Amino acid sequence: MEKIRIGEKELEALRRDARTNPLKRARINLHQSPEDIIQEMVIALCKGSYICPHRQRNKEKSYSLIEGEMIVAFFNDLGRCTRSIRMGRERDRDPVVYRFASDEWHTVISLSETVIYVETTSGPYRPEETEFVSWGPNPEDDVQREAFLASFCEAVERGSL
């Protein structure tokens, strides 16, 4: 039995929703409830959207790229980027699927005007199990947020990420 079907019409609506959302992102949940053992979402993330670096202990997570390019950045406890994975279809060496243990501080940064990807993680979803960094920019502070994102985009351009 078919539960959810996503085609170009739904992706276009997702892109439009992300462009008009103040947070510059939108998603379609593929799971039915926070209690599901698999939590799966199709996410559209516009350039300039900020997702505070976070982690979930004892969870697995994967990103499967549908379109665009993005960086998955990992950090130590002091906020230093320890590694990053560039995902995209533009270069042969970039993965389009990436799976990792989500107990490391991490975030996603769009390199495209809009990136669309599927995020899958083990459930059930418990908001209290997600920890957010104390050293990240205040999401309400445009200057801090834009400086944080710009530093990654500049590092990508220099080839240092």
Length, in residues, of the chain: 161
- Kindly state the average pLDDT of the residues 90-111: 90
Domains of the chain: 8-158 (2.60.120.10)
Residue 1 has pLDDT above 60, yes or no: no
- Kindly state the average pLDDT of the residues 100-109: 92
pLDDT at res. 161: 60
pLDDT at res. 2: 60
Instruction: Please give the mean pLDDT across all residues of the chain.
Output: 90
Interval 13-64: pLDDT, tens: 999 999 999 999 999 999 999 999 999 999 999 999 999 999 998 899 999 9
46: its two tokens:
């516009």
Q: Where is average pLDDT lowest: 16-20, 35-39, 98-102, 143-147?
A: 143-147
pLDDT at res. 17: 98
* 63, 72 contact by CB (below 8 A): yes
Task: Identify each DSSP E strand in 10-104 by its residue range.
Answer: 25-29, 38-46, 54-56, 60-67, 70-75, 81-87, 97-101
Query: For the chain, how long is the longest CA-to-CA vector?
Result: 48
Interval 62-77: pLDDT, tens: 999 999 999 999 999 9
Q: Where is average pLDDT lowest: 3-12, 82-91, 116-125?
A: 82-91
Instruction: Band the pLDDT of 131: cuts 50, 70, 90.
Output: very high
Residue 102 and residue 79: Cα distance in Å, rounded? 16
Instruction: Band the pLDDT of 160: cuts 50, 70, 90.
Output: low
Residue 53 and residue 87: Cα distance in Å, rounded? 18
The set of residues, in sequence order, having a beta carbon less than 8 Å from that of 100 and lying 6+ positions away, is 60, 61, 62, 72, 106
